Structure 1
Amino acid sequence: MSRAFLKHIDQQITKPKLSNHERAVFVLHDQLNLDVWPSWIREEKPLLIFMESAEKGNELPHHKKKAIYLLSSMRHFALECAEAGYPVHYHSTKKHFDDGLNEILSENEELNLTYMAPSEWDSRNRLRNVRSEFLDRVEEIPNNFFLADVEEYKERVKDGWLMEYFYREMRRKTGYLMNGDEPEGGGWNYDEENREKLPKDHPVPEIAKTESDDITEEVKEMVDSWYGDSFGESENFTYAVTRRQALYRLNEFIEERLDEFGPYEDAMAHGKYELFHSQLSVYLNNGLLLPTEVCNKAEEAYHNDNARLNSVEGFIRQIIGWREYVRVYYEAMMPEVREANHFNFTERLPEMYWSGETKMNCMSECLKPVIKEGYSHHIPRLMVLSNFSNLTETDPKELNRWFHLSYVDAYEWVVLPNVLGMSTFADGGVLASKPYVSSGNYIKKMSDYCKHCGYKISKKSGEEACPFNYLYWNFIDKQRETFTNNGRANFMVNMFDKKSEEDKKAIWESSEGFLRKLKRDSE
């Protein structure tokens, strides 16, 4: 493949002669930290192989900023390894990365290869096929970018073991926020303290923006050239792309936003899509940051009285609880879960997910940062974007694909459980204890979106009413069997049944009219 967009790599890395090497390590784009690799790699400094694959990039039209982030961070890491004394072979191929490795191994019969098991299913299968082809010349080592042992937990998770109990066990194992066998402060979580709406004019510190260097600009030019039709915008790329920059983002979060992260964890506000969230998932998910160092920093802030307990606990729970739990779920449920569709929805994704254009202000506000930055925090993802998808009877696989390609922090191991397990209930309740749907009242409670909307949150049906209001009750009625069989949600069916026939008719007619007019993806 042409190396026209690899000038900085070729200028700064001396291309090694592969026949001079007997041992090589293949480093994937989401494994950019040698600290968790076996010590012999840091001691011996073997040949490191990095791979840019055009076919891998074409599998899914990833958000342009996701493509820029992945490629720029991998190039920066490869350069750092070369500066640290590692021989580096930075390979570029039109085909997939396993084809590139097959070519390298076939042409260099004395070369032995080690790779770390990929976190994503398809990549793992591709590398295992390479291992099968070259037998004793290729070695797979365990993935050490996570804290939990998958084999220890996956059968329990597959049987419906709740995240809360997994999280408590992880707290005991790691010792985070523990006093002996008891949790710090006496409670395992402080969710009740973390559901405040952001007060009007409450100050929110901005996340630092990283200026693009020449390498990132070269990558941006390549992405615009090769993947110009992909989703999202490439302009104003400001993500960190090196470990040093990511550590700065971590320290900045701990010092400026962690303390108020907890109270406003679920809040949403007009024009403020980050609020007090860390955005560190972007860097955790490709190795620039490690979960232990992030949790250590957060716990240290609590013990130094720089952050309140409910904020630190909520933040640590996202990492050693939810992040680890969904990874185990992914391993336990794959590959069958890819086809999960409990409600048997078949509709295409609403067109607004691609354009951001809609009269519904909450949807517009939650889609804008995704289109521009490839990011929004977990409440817009769960309680607005996923909620609307479910209420409009959209095929959950369509939504899963959209989340996978739209977010900079997206990888299948984390997206699939969150979408097909948590937010759409597509797996029938293995991960989530109830369907996560709501009316517009939740959005009003947690945001100021309704003040700027073309619909009226106070109206329950009719053309002026907030669509979430009537779509929610329409969903409850249509999916009454699921709700009736769910101990946590069966009361909602009773509430619907107690409505007057006139109200029920208005709900049905409003929903039918809205769904009929809703523009869908035509691809």
Structure 2
Amino acid sequence: MVKLVLVLGDQLSPNLSALCEADPSSDVVVMAEALGEAEYVPHHPKKIALIFAAMRKFADRLRGEGWTVRYYLLDDEKAPKTISEALLRTAEEVGTSEVICTQAGEWRVTDDLANLPLTVTTLPDDRFIATDQEFQSWAEGRKQLRMEYFYRDMRRKTDLMMDGDQPAGGQWNFDHDNRKAPPKEITFEGPLRFEVDGTVEDVLNLVEDRFGDNFGDLRPFWFATDAEQANEHLTHWIKYGLPQFGDFQDAMVLGQPHLYHAHIGLYINIGLLDPLEVCQAVEEAWKNGGAPINAAEGFIRQIIGWREYVRGIYLLEGRDYVNRNGLGHSRDLPGMFWGKKTWMACIEDAVGQTEREAYAHHIQRLMVTGNFALLAGIDPYQVHEWYLAVYADAFEWVEAPNVIGMSQFADGGVVASKPYVSSGNYIDKMSNYCKSCSYKVKVKTGPDACPFNVLYWQFLLRHEDKFRGNPRMAQMYRVWDMMNEERRKTVLSDAETWLARMDAGETV
């Protein structure tokens, strides 16, 4: 019997398990630009365009390799609105009830496929290094699921940067060397930018027409949209960006969205690049003297450590994970996250580049927008949906643990051992934002004080029952205890006043 082979928009890999299991001489590949996938959150137009353009090119590649591909365009007169509808329609047309698919990266897609009145065979997504069972076995019986120990197992499994059974350089982690303040000069021009071809232009026109009102600039569009371009970008970054990536991976510079970052997560996450091959290329550059050990190790840790770990957490914690709200936060996401004017230079820059590029690096996400949302007590589900919508590399399996867990501590400590909160001092140390800000980072109270300064203390007091006993936070509570009563009252009053102004829709 003919089988349908489902290929999703984040599964654009020729070695996808579903394709490997199927027969190109008889089976039919199904791909669909489903409206339901494009609008379940208000995705950034660049993200939609990237996925649709890459899907169209991948479908052409499969046809060139002899596959029969049933591809549904979004602007078809009778375009299916969901993946399930596309499968049901194709099954009826070709006379089959058999579907082969690779495990989806979001629970809602998994559940939709499970409810089909078809026989669906789901295969593991072996593009990941750790199998589901491996992660579950690693997690079983552990009181704390900390990434560092899982990462060491992944190093051993892949043999990346290993010297026998020991880590190269004598230590597993060189993060201590990766926290330098912003450089005075940036010598890397940033990611490769690709010309818009006919396929991409058709997609841009479609997205402009259907999703032009979504938050985010569609043009200029320069992303890689096929594997050849993505590999060209990787080669360029390894040569010119990787050597200083490690030193400055936590730095933030006004008007410089990329610094030395790889800007590669979006290509790995939709399948244009293989994560293990990417890490092997970085390792090879280090071995050949093209990058220092801290840069290579720091990058590889993000891929085989953190990326693999958060997927494991997402699958392990289950469907309700995105709804967790361990701190009981309920404030609505403020307009500044959607581009409304703010006097906070760090927020304005991080959100502004997100609007233009569908991108911000991990420290901007964690310690600027994420830190602010946590301090201000914003509903974590709203924060989760914002990150899922605005970043081109965001799919729920990777985004949710980063936001619900790492950024917002809404999972109660599954991912992080303490909330990632800071006053303005951290942002001042790791960026040049504060120099041009309307607020003063050195001012602790009053209308000119950096909002992070007063919100930080208010957060600690709001959740004192949860965190005073945390060994990693005890010092901050001791500092609070040493403040005189008058200053403590002023700090809390200033925080409430500032938040009330934000809630009222004022420019803050």
Matching of residues 371-390 of structure 1 within 5 Å? 371-390=355-374
Is the contact made by 2:72 and 2:80 (CA closer than 8 Å) also made in structure 1? no
2:57 equivalent to 1:76: yes
What's the Cα RMSD here? Answer: 1.7
Partner in structure 2 of residue 30 of structure 1: 10
Is the contact made by 1:391 and 1:472 (CA closer than 8 Å) also made in structure 2? yes
Shift of 1:120: 1.1
Partner in structure 2 of residue 329 of structure 1: 313
Evaluate the alpha carbon distance shift between residue 379 and residue 240 of structure 1 in structure 2; reply closer, same or farther with a 3 A threshold: same
In structure 2, give the amino acid aligned to 1:23. Answer: K
Equivalents in 2 of 1:315, 1:58: separation in Å? 32
Partner in structure 1 of residue 102 of structure 2: 116
2:426 equivalent to 1:445: no
Evaluate the alpha carbon distance shift between residue 43 and residue 182 of structure 1 in structure 2; reply closer, same or farther with a 3 A threshold: farther
2:161 equivalent to 1:177: yes
Shift of 1:261: 0.5
Matching of residues 353-502 of structure 1 within 5 Å? 353-502=337-486
Equivalents in 2 of 1:86, 1:109: separation in Å? 18
Shift of 1:335: 1.2
Shift of 1:36: 3.7
Matching of residues 16-95 of structure 1 within 5 Å? 22-37=2-17, 39-41=20-22, 44=25, 46-92=27-73, 93-95=79-81
Evaluate the alpha carbon distance shift between residue 346 and residue 520 of structure 1 in structure 2; reply closer, same or farther with a 3 A threshold: farther
In structure 1, give the amino acid aligned to 2:252. Answer: M
2:130 equivalent to 1:145: no
Equivalents in 2 of 1:511, 1:73: separation in Å? 46
Shift of 1:343: 1.1
Is the contact made by 2:190 and 2:241 (CA closer than 8 Å) also made in structure 1? no
Equivalents in 2 of 1:198, 1:44: separation in Å? 55
Evaluate the alpha carbon distance shift between residue 429 and residue 506 of structure 1 in structure 2; reply closer, same or farther with a 3 A threshold: same
2:323 equivalent to 1:339: yes
Evaluate the alpha carbon distance shift between residue 338 and residue 202 of structure 1 in structure 2; reply closer, same or farther with a 3 A threshold: closer
Equivalents in 2 of 1:218, 1:334: separation in Å? 38
More displaced, 306-315 or 211-220? 211-220
Equivalents in 2 of 1:333, 1:491: separation in Å? 31
Is the contact made by 1:356 and 1:363 (CA closer than 8 Å) also made in structure 2? no
Is the contact made by 2:186 and 2:259 (CA closer than 8 Å) also made in structure 1? no
Is the contact made by 2:2 and 2:96 (CA closer than 8 Å) also made in structure 1? yes
Shift of 1:41: 4.0
Deviations 1:355-403 (A, max 9, x none): 1521010111111110111101000000000000011111111100100
Matching of residues 218-237 of structure 1 within 5 Å? 218-237=202-221
Evaluate the alpha carbon distance shift between residue 40 and residue 398 of structure 1 in structure 2; reply closer, same or farther with a 3 A threshold: closer
Deviations 1:408-458 (A, max 9, x none): 000000110000000111011111010000000000100111111101111
Is the contact made by 2:54 and 2:226 (CA closer than 8 Å) also made in structure 1? yes
Is the contact made by 1:45 and 1:85 (CA closer than 8 Å) also made in structure 2? no
Is the contact made by 1:474 and 1:511 (CA closer than 8 Å) also made in structure 2? yes
Is the contact made by 1:348 and 1:520 (CA closer than 8 Å) also made in structure 2? no
Equivalents in 1 of 2:63, 2:92: separation in Å? 25
Instruction: Work out which of the residue numbers 265, 277, 282 in structure 1 matches 2:261.
Output: 277
Shift of 1:113: 2.5
2:472 equivalent to 1:513: no
Shift of 1:151: 1.8
Is the contact made by 2:268 and 2:275 (CA closer than 8 Å) also made in structure 1? yes
Equivalents in 2 of 1:384, 1:521: separation in Å? 20
Evaluate the alpha carbon distance shift between residue 24 and residue 190 of structure 1 in structure 2; reply closer, same or farther with a 3 A threshold: same
In structure 1, give the amino acid aligned to 2:60. Answer: L
2:86 equivalent to 1:100: yes
More displaced, 334-343 or 40-49? 40-49
3-state SS in 1 of match to 2:470: coil
Deviations 1:113-161 (A, max 9, x none): 211111111111111222xx123xx322111221111222236548532
Is the contact made by 1:167 and 1:321 (CA closer than 8 Å) also made in structure 2? yes
Shift of 1:479: 1.2
Is the contact made by 1:476 and 1:496 (CA closer than 8 Å) also made in structure 2? no
User: What is the TM-score when the length of structure 1 is the normalising length?
Assistant: 0.92
Equivalents in 1 of 2:97, 2:136: separation in Å? 36
Shift of 1:404: 0.3
Is the contact made by 1:78 and 1:88 (CA closer than 8 Å) also made in structure 2? yes
2:143 equivalent to 1:162: no
Evaluate the alpha carbon distance shift between residue 42 and residue 459 of structure 1 in structure 2; reply closer, same or farther with a 3 A threshold: farther
Partner in structure 2 of residue 17 of structure 1: none
Is the contact made by 2:330 and 2:378 (CA closer than 8 Å) also made in structure 1? yes
Equivalents in 2 of 1:371, 1:460: separation in Å? 31
Matching of residues 279-318 of structure 1 within 5 Å? 279-318=263-302
More displaced, 227-236 or 156-165? 156-165
Shift of 1:81: 1.3
Matching of residues 230-249 of structure 1 within 5 Å? 230-249=214-233
Is the contact made by 2:424 and 2:441 (CA closer than 8 Å) also made in structure 1? yes
Gap runs ≥5 in structure 2:
74-78
Equivalents in 1 of 2:21, 2:84: separation in Å? 24
Equivalents in 1 of 2:319, 2:8: separation in Å? 21
Shift of 1:46: 3.5
Shift of 1:247: 0.3
3-state SS in 2 of match to 1:35: coil
Gap runs ≥5 in structure 1:
1-20
Is the contact made by 1:32 and 1:287 (CA closer than 8 Å) also made in structure 2? yes
Partner in structure 2 of residue 201 of structure 1: 185
Shift of 1:478: 1.5
Partner in structure 1 of residue 76 of structure 2: none
In structure 2, give the amino acid aligned to 1:272. Answer: Q
- What fraction of aligned residue pairs are identical, expressed as a percent? 39
Evaluate the alpha carbon distance shift between residue 43 and residue 49 of structure 1 in structure 2; reply closer, same or farther with a 3 A threshold: closer
Evaluate the alpha carbon distance shift between residue 32 and residue 45 of structure 1 in structure 2; reply closer, same or farther with a 3 A threshold: farther
State the aligned residue count: 498
Is the contact made by 1:351 and 1:520 (CA closer than 8 Å) also made in structure 2? no
Is the contact made by 2:183 and 2:248 (CA closer than 8 Å) also made in structure 1? no
